[in-house]
Amino acid sequence: MSETRTLTDEAAALDAVDELAGRRALFALDDTVYLDGNSLGALPRHVPDRLHDVITREWGALRIRSWDESGWWTAPERIGDRIAPLVGSAPGQVVVGDSTSVNVFKAVVAATRLAATGRDEILVDAATFPTDGYIAGSAARLTGHRLVPVAPADVPDALGPRTAAVLLNHVDFRTGRLHDLPGLTAEAHAAGALAVWDLCHSAGALPVGLDAHGVDLAVGCTYKYLNGGPGSPAYLYVAERHQGAFDSPLPGWTSHADPFAMTSGYAPAEGAPRGRVGTPDILSMLALDAALDVWDGVSMAAVRAKSLALTDFFLECVGRYVPGDGLVTSVTPDAHAERGSQVSLRCADAGPVMTELVARGVVGDLRRPDVLRFGFTPLYVGFADAERAARTLAEVLADRGAGVVVGD
Amino acid sequence: MSETRTLTDEAAALDAVDELAGRRALFALDDTVYLDGNSLGALPRHVPDRLHDVITREWGALRIRSWDESGWWTAPERIGDRIAPLVGSAPGQVVVGDSTSVNVFKAVVAATRLAATGRDEILVDAATFPTDGYIAGSAARLTGHRLVPVAPADVPDALGPRTAAVLLNHVDFRTGRLHDLPGLTAEAHAAGALAVWDLCHSAGALPVGLDAHGVDLAVGCTYKYLNGGPGSPAYLYVAERHQGAFDSPLPGWTSHADPFAMTSGYAPAEGAPRGRVGTPDILSMLALDAALDVWDGVSMAAVRAKSLALTDFFLECVGRYVPGDGLVTSVTPDAHAERGSQVSLRCADAGPVMTELVARGVVGDLRRPDVLRFGFTPLYVGFADAERAARTLAEVLADRGAGVVVGD
């Protein structure tokens, strides 16, 4: 019992000095410990009212006039400029729209067209979130490149004079491993290749530094740590130096320099809007726009510090509560420099264990076959949540006959 | 004055016997004459409450659980099955998601892969809505085909042993001309080519008959006559006979046979879900889902009959109110078999004329340089609207010094 109290007390002490603790009140949360914000971020409380206004006044009353009068038409680049500082981009380089998969397609095909002639290989993270690999494979097939799956650690050796582009994940969705974006980008450039990064599992959880590290192209979703809502539109970053030669494989009419001329010849817009495709999905996009208000005044350095403290503390609690006989094994790196904002635990019977955790009010998710995944979103997850999650996990394992003894 | 009263009376008489007149009450409308439902459909009144529930309960309270418990995951094919009967498709062939442009890309690339080997040309409507041409051009470039722009009337002559696929618009966005979907599809098939149709300006306004006419692939948007909301997701139709060989250029993870296995190898799902790409944009998609309720119990034959009666009556009113000295000229065909659900009038100074029409409560739109476009959405536009629009147009022209005399 004393151990439990100790960690509970420690959690309370950590929560008491958490400078981000006040942000939790901005979200619609209950007594669930919600550790799946790395899959679907929680609802910011003000979003329903904002969407109600978009639907009833902007769509319902102004109707077609809202494309101009409510700023719908320019929403993709305007909201892109709100995401830009969260990923270390100057304005004018991020545009919102479409899904991550579609943006991966734009980025990879465009990267092959930006690359020097004669380079015929695309390297892709072999353990990537699958859509990136599938889409990169399609891009390779359509552009006549060879797709080379490679572990991120082996990218430096795999780079060569044939490499056109490298597509990598900043944080591995399964293990939570943080890859070395600055180092790998520099390696790609040294080999004469372009670096394309998928930020789905890092944006909103840690500093990314796209401009600072010279990333060429990047994509990411907005429904995880950015809390944009289920399936909210993704974004595309094209570094300013590449925008003039950015040649989209999806040159939809809203990326035209003069879309309402409706001419049969395509002339691309300048800047970030060149990455647009079709008519923007306004309801999902303006929910995201509203949701981004929760970031006003937040320092990404503070987010990162809290994220690491949370995952450290969760791992400590797991270590204390769950017997050290291999019942669970972390597959997330211990080193801070290699850790995103999630902890992934390998566990026998992970499926039923997660089902029971959810039933007891601790929501993580399962990555088949055997990974329990717990995401820590610093804007609304606290240290008491981390302690309760670890304690509940130990209780579930004990109740399943694993012989765990938990105080209290 | 007697003419005005006569047409006003005639409008009242037509409205009195309109079997669809009751549908207007389902929409949030005011005293504006809204003739731009062919660009952005009006808001069905029940949509705000439904979206509020999606946002607060499904996203806000259930969060990640809604992917299963609220049916989010299967929404693309479930909503596709609601659109299917509106375009003459049996269930299991329509999937919702992405923009029209992205679906054009899927359909055209897939069509070239379904076509017989050696066919290296893609025919595209030379007057098409521009995104279709731009995207077809990109598809041609990526697949090594030649893009051949051709007027729809010339398609039969242009078809040949090199034609892989034809991409056509069912209704021309500018003129409102209805193209011969059954005839041109049959011509394409006779030449050994596939027929891909863009239904943006016909679905919800007239019977399409995809299955009956043997269409191969089709796409369409849902924010015009289907009233799904600004930028609501588009749809893709793949005829059942082609589904097994449908080879998407955008094989995102949600089109995988077992998406949560998250394997590095791609294995496509069977059926309509094979046309999916990334994570569905749930808010926009479920607004569309709710909006489709207005179609319950509506016969598309009744919609078509009213649409033709409305455009006939509007043209009659324009003919009576606006002097016949060429102030305005209809570019929409007179023949019913060649007319969609809009009337496009060529007019000098069309830009300022439309601005003034909007200021007087008659909302159509401008298609540069000189076309006034009036869309008639049979579910909520009445004959009195058509009369008032024509009368206001005549008044605007008169006030601009065009010497029009209007009674009243």
Q: Over the stretch A264-323, which tens digit does the pLDDT of each residue have?
A: 899 999 999 999 999 999 999 999 999 999 999 999 999 999 999 999 999 999 999 998
Left (φ > 0), alpha (ψ -120 to 50) or beta: where does A252 sit?
beta
The residues, ordered by sequence, that sit 6+ positions from B337 with a Cβ below 8 Å of its Cβ are B178, B180
Q: Is residue B187 part of a domain?
A: yes
The predicted structure's pLDDT at residue B192:
98
Residue A229: closest C-alpha in chain B: B59
User: C-alpha distances in angstroms, A359 versus A29, A242, A370?
Assistant: 17, 49, 19
**CB B391, CB B407: distance < 8 Å:** no
| B135/A contact by beta carbon, under 8 A | yes
Please say which residue of B248, B275, B295 terminates a domain: B295
Q: To the nearest whole angstrom, how far is the Cα of B109 from the nearest Cα of chain A?
A: 10
- What does the mean pLDDT of chain A come to? 95
Q: Is residue B84 part of a domain?
A: yes
A373 assigned to active site: yes
The predicted structure's pLDDT at residue A320:
95
% chain A with pLDDT above 90: 92
Do residues B227 and B352 share a domain? no
Q: Is residue B40 part of a domain?
A: no
What whole-number distance in Å separates Cα of residue B15 and Cα of residue B381? 10
Do residues A251 and A364 share a domain? no
Rounded mean pLDDT, B174-187: 97
Do residues B264 and B343 share a domain? no
Q: Is residue B236 part of a domain?
A: yes
How many structural domains are present in chain A? 2
CB within 8 Å: A223 and B279: yes
pLDDT tier for residue B326 given thresholds of 50, 70 and 90? confident
User: C-alpha distances in angstroms, B179 versus A204, B176, B183, B340?
Assistant: 49, 9, 9, 9
Rounded mean pLDDT, A324-329: 87
Q: B320: how many CB neighbours lie within 10 A of its CB?
A: 18
Do residues B272 and B161 share a domain? yes
Six-digit token string for B141: 């470039």
Please say which residue of B295, B329, B356 terminates a domain: B295
Six-digit token string for A357: 């955790």
Rounded mean pLDDT, B6-13: 96
Do residues A273 and A313 share a domain? no
Q: What digits encode the pLDDT tens for the residues B262-272?
A: 888 999 999 99
**CB B292, CB B83: distance < 8 Å:** yes
The residues, ordered by sequence, that sit 6+ positions from A324 with a Cβ below 8 Å of its Cβ are none
Do residues B145 and B288 share a domain? yes
Q: Is residue B37 part of a domain?
A: no
CB within 8 Å: B28 and A52: no
CATH number, domain with residue A329: 3.90.1150.10
Q: What digits encode the pLDDT tens for the residues A108-130?
A: 999 999 999 999 999 999 988 88
Residue B252: closest C-alpha in chain A: A131
| B368/A contact by beta carbon, under 8 A | yes
Rounded mean pLDDT, A71-81: 98
Q: What digits encode the pLDDT tens for the residues A385-394?
A: 999 999 999 9
CB within 8 Å: B283 and A102: no
User: Is the pTM here over 0.80, yes or no?
Assistant: yes
Do residues A12 and A130 share a domain? no
Do residues A75 and A121 share a domain? yes
CB within 8 Å: A28 and B102: no
| A·B CB contacts under 8 A | 262
The predicted structure's pLDDT at residue B408:
39
Do residues B278 and B302 share a domain? no
CATH number, domain with residue B98: 3.40.640.10
The predicted structure's pLDDT at residue A324:
78
Q: Is residue B276 part of a domain?
A: yes
Do residues B276 and B304 share a domain? no
The predicted structure's pLDDT at residue A2:
52
User: C-alpha distances in angstroms, B291 versus A395, B28, B46, B232, B328?
Assistant: 46, 12, 8, 10, 35
Using DSSP's 3-state secondary structure scheme, residue B18 falls into: coil
Please say which residue of B240, B267, B295 terminates a domain: B295
**CB B386, CB B11: distance < 8 Å:** yes
ipTM of the complex: 0.96
| B250/A contact by beta carbon, under 8 A | yes
Q: Is residue B212 part of a domain?
A: yes
Q: Is residue A361 part of a domain?
A: yes
Q: What digits encode the pLDDT tens for the residues A223-263?
A: 999 999 999 999 999 999 999 999 999 999 999 999 988 88
Do residues A139 and A267 share a domain? yes
Residue A333's domain comprises 2-30+299-402
A405 has a pLDDT exceeding 60:
no
Longest dimension (CA), chain A: 75
Do residues A158 and A173 share a domain? yes
Using DSSP's 3-state secondary structure scheme, residue A236 falls into: strand
